[in-house]
Amino acid sequence: METGKWSFNELNSEIWWHDQYETMEEAIAAGREYFKHEYQEYDKDKFNVGQSDEVPVGVNVDRILEDIGENVYDEVGDVAEDYLRDVTISQARELEKELDEVLHKWMDKHKHKPNFWRVINIKEVSVL
């Protein structure tokens, strides 16, 4: 699904698999048409429309620094008890930004970018 496009889906369904539309109005019209014909026997009177959005992928630098500190502590013991605990917020955000850049370059190179999306701006719509 392309970021920013609209789709429709059954209520309470986690996987959005219907076609994409440029506008919410187009998705509503397509959803109404679909549910009028496909679900008459199930008496479905509402459905959802929502907008696709890129899944944010990145590192959690706080976890990484904590993990490094624990690994070093495991290697040398108490002498490393406070290792990396003096990293400032500014330093941590700098590292996180740089690691995110490396991660995304690696994901692009090996084709590991998510091929799925999250859905935002979900609205319940009446079939009629």
Mean pLDDT of all residues in the chain? 92
Token reading at 50: 């929502």
Token reading at 110: 């090996």
**What would the pLDDT profile of 95-127 be if each residue is shown by its tens digit?**
999 999 999 999 999 999 998 889 999 999 998
C-alpha to C-alpha distance for 102 and 96, rounded to whole angstroms: 10
Q: Does the pLDDT value for residue 91 go beyond 60? A: yes
What is the predicted pLDDT for the residue at 124?
A: 95
What is the predicted pLDDT for the residue at 40?
A: 58
**What would the pLDDT profile of 24-79 be if each residue is shown by its tens digit?**
999 999 999 998 876 655 557 899 999 999 999 999 999 999 999 999 999 999 99
